[in-house]
Amino acid sequence: MSTQGRPDVTVHAAVRARRITFLEQPRPHVETTGDTDPQKSTSDTQRSGLPTPVGTGTYDDIRVEHTTAAHVSPNRRPNLPR
């Protein structure tokens, strides 16, 4: 973990669409792999224009944002040159 308590790695992605059609019910899945500390790593998805759960059908003006923040396990951090 960084010295200030912030995540070591953060990934953010956003997508929007005027119209999207799901022919099958989506099965979203998020998995953080590698030498991360699962007790301190987080994942969050915000969305608009979609019901919960999303079913088959067509949706207009949708937006999805996803952020994953991971802390590297201090016992397994590789020795990198500084």
User: Could you read off the pLDDT of 6-61 as tens digits, one per residue?
Assistant: 888 899 999 999 999 999 999 988 777 766 677 778 889 999 999 999 999 999 99
Q: Produce one character per residue of 27-45: b if its CB has 16 or more CB atoms within 10 Å, e if not.
A: eeeeeeeeebbeeebeeee
* pTM score above 0.75: no
Instruction: Report the distance separating Cα 7 and Cα 9, nearest Å.
Output: 5
